[in-house]
Amino acid sequence: MSNHGVAAVEKALGLLDCFRLGAEMLSLAQLSAASGMHKTTVFRLLNSLERMSYVVRAADGRYTLGPRVLYLGKLYEQSFQLGSVIEPVLQDLAAATKESASYYVLHGDEQRMCLYRAEPSEGLRETRLPGTILPLDDTAIGSVLKFWGKGEETAQKADPLPWFTSGARDVYTAAFATPLFGAGDKFMAALALSGPASRLEAADRAEIVRVQLVAATKLSRMLGASPGWCERIYGERASQKQ
Are both 54 and 129 inside the same structural domain? no
**What distance, in Å, lies between the first and last C-alpha atoms of the chain?**
10
d(CA 26, CA 56): 11
Q: What is the pTM of this model?
A: 0.70
Q: Which residues of 104-124 are buried (b: 16+ CB within 10 A; e: fewer)?
A: bbbeeeeebbbbbbbbbeeee
Are both 68 and 102 inside the same structural domain? no
Residues making up the chain, counted from first to last = 242
Residue 116 parent element (H or E)? strand 111-118
Are both 99 and 56 inside the same structural domain? no
Contact in structure between 112 and 175 (CB atoms under 8 Å): no
Q: Is residue 1 one of the residues assigned to a domain?
A: no
- What is the domain-level CATH number for residue 59? 1.10.10.10
What pLDDT does 153 receive?
86
* Three-state secondary-structure class, residue 214: helix
State the residue range of the domain holding 40.
7-76
- pLDDT tens for the chain, 242 residues: list them: 345 678 999 999 999 989 987 889 999 999 999 999 999 999 999 999 999 999 999 999 999 999 999 888 888 767 668 888 999 999 999 999 999 999 999 998 899 999 899 998 776 667 778 888 899 999 999 999 999 999 998 877 767 899 999 988 888 899 999 999 998 899 999 999 999 998 999 989 899 999 999 999 999 999 999 999 999 999 865 554 43
Q: Is residue 2 one of the residues assigned to a domain?
A: no
Are both 139 and 181 inside the same structural domain? yes
Q: Is residue 232 one of the residues assigned to a domain?
A: yes
Are both 190 and 211 inside the same structural domain? yes
**Final residue of a domain: which of 76, 98, 123?**
76
Q: Is residue 12 one of the residues assigned to a domain?
A: yes
**Final residue of a domain: which of 19, 51, 76?**
76
Are both 54 and 142 inside the same structural domain? no
- What is the domain-level CATH number for residue 222? 3.30.450.40
**Final residue of a domain: which of 76, 105, 128?**
76
Task: Look at the chain and report how many structural domains it folds into.
Answer: 2
Are both 30 and 52 inside the same structural domain? yes
Are both 118 and 224 inside the same structural domain? yes
What pLDDT does 2 receive?
44
Q: Which residues of 141-160 are buried (b: 16+ CB within 10 A; e: fewer)?
A: bbbbbbbbbeeeebebeeee
Q: Is residue 162 reached through a cis peptide bond, with omega within 30 degrees of 0 on the bond before it?
A: yes
Are both 122 and 30 inside the same structural domain? no
